[in-house]
Amino acid sequence: MSIRGLIFDFGGVISNMRWDVARKLEEEHGLERGIIFRTIYDNDDWRAVQVGRGDIDGWREGAQRRLEEAAGRPLPPLHQQWRETIGLIKENVELIRTLRPPYQTAILSNADITLEERIRDGLGIDHLFDTIVCSAVVGIAKPDPSIYRLTAERLSLPPEECLFIDDLEGNVTAAQEVGMTGVHYRVHRGDDLKAQLAELGVRPSET
């Protein structure tokens, strides 16, 4: 089957998570590498928030507490400092713009319940997507197979006609297991999403 739907992860594919900034902050404060990521995302608070069952403020406060416990001392709000540097990957946003039409497009993201509002009111790019599937809204998170099928259904396409892009290999593998074509994209490794899609025959229509 030919590819008719393009499904993009948000953090890491449409926005640059700037893990280089997180690593720099860790170095500046003498912290273990990766601790900023682990204290905000690798915990039960986040696992509840991403399926709509947790408190966002409590999750963020807990991340600071876990960070200070790991460091053994008070610290400035490093998660906030890191988050303030996150921004759109402009070349990927422009690529998505050029792919509509002929392709249908969607966002599929493990995110807190504010994602759609941020995309619409904060970033103003909601018009580039036929649907936005946020894990906290639907109560299911990647790599659960059902969230991939749900996204394909919202595009009125079979999974086999969808291509999914994510920065986490496990999420890509899960998409492939339901029949989608998968692309593992890593902005921090210098991947070129336009070239990756072109290799699979996905290109802007000629005008």
Q: How many angstroms separate the CA atoms of 77 and 85, rounded?
A: 13
Q: Does 207 fall in a domain?
A: no
pLDDT tens digits, one per residue of 116-165: 999 999 999 999 999 999 999 999 999 999 999 999 999 999 999 999 99
Q: Tell me: do 120 and 133 sit in the same domain.
A: yes
Predicted TM-score (pTM) of the model is 0.96
Q: Does 204 fall in a domain?
A: no
The pLDDT of 22-45, averaged and rounded, is 97
Q: Tell me: do 195 and 157 sit in the same domain.
A: yes
Q: Does 192 fall in a domain?
A: yes
Is the pLDDT at 207 greater than 90? The verdict is no
Q: How many structural domains is the chain composed of?
A: 2
Q: Tell me: do 79 and 133 sit in the same domain.
A: no
Per-residue pLDDT band for 77 (boundaries 50, 70, 90) equals very high
Parallel, antiparallel or unpaired: strands 15-16 and 87-88: antiparallel
Q: Tell me: do 77 and 91 sit in the same domain.
A: no
Q: Does 128 fall in a domain?
A: yes
* Crossing angle of the two packed helices 169-177 and 145-154, in degrees rounded to 10: 70
Q: Does 44 fall in a domain?
A: yes
Q: Tell me: do 64 and 94 sit in the same domain.
A: no
Q: How many angstroms separate the CA atoms of 11 and 147, rounded?
A: 17
Give residue 205's pLDDT.
78
Tell me which residue range forms the domain holding 67. 19-83
Q: How many angstroms separate the CA atoms of 128 and 107, rounded?
A: 10
Torsion, Cα of 138, 92, 97, 11 (10° steps): 20
Give residue 20's pLDDT.
96
- Residue 103's domain is classified under what CATH number? 3.40.50.1000
Q: Does 205 fall in a domain?
A: no
Q: Does 184 fall in a domain?
A: yes
Q: Does 59 fall in a domain?
A: yes
pLDDT tens digits, one per residue of 54-67: 999 999 999 999 99
Q: Tell me: do 103 and 172 sit in the same domain.
A: yes
Q: How many angstroms separate the CA atoms of 203 and 137, rounded?
A: 31
DSSP character for 11? B
- With a pLDDT cut of 90, the percent of the chain lying above it is 97
Q: 108 - beta bridge partners?
A: 133
- With a pLDDT cut of 70, the percent of the chain lying above it is 99
Per-residue pLDDT band for 11 (boundaries 50, 70, 90) equals very high
Q: Tell me: do 187 and 137 sit in the same domain.
A: yes
Strands (DSSP E) found in 48-147: 87-88, 104-109, 131-134
Give residue 198's pLDDT.
97
Q: 33-39: long-range contacts (C-beta < 8 A, 24 or more apart)?
A: 35/67, 35/70, 35/71, 36/67, 36/78, 36/79, 36/82, 39/63, 39/64, 39/66, 39/67, 39/70, 39/79
Q: 3-state DSSP call for residue 146?
A: helix
Task: Please report, for residues 58, 62, 181, 202, the alpha-carbon distance to residue 4 in angstroms, rounded to integers and kept in the order given.
Answer: 40, 42, 11, 9
The pLDDT of 24-35, averaged and rounded, is 98
Per-residue pLDDT band for 6 (boundaries 50, 70, 90) equals very high
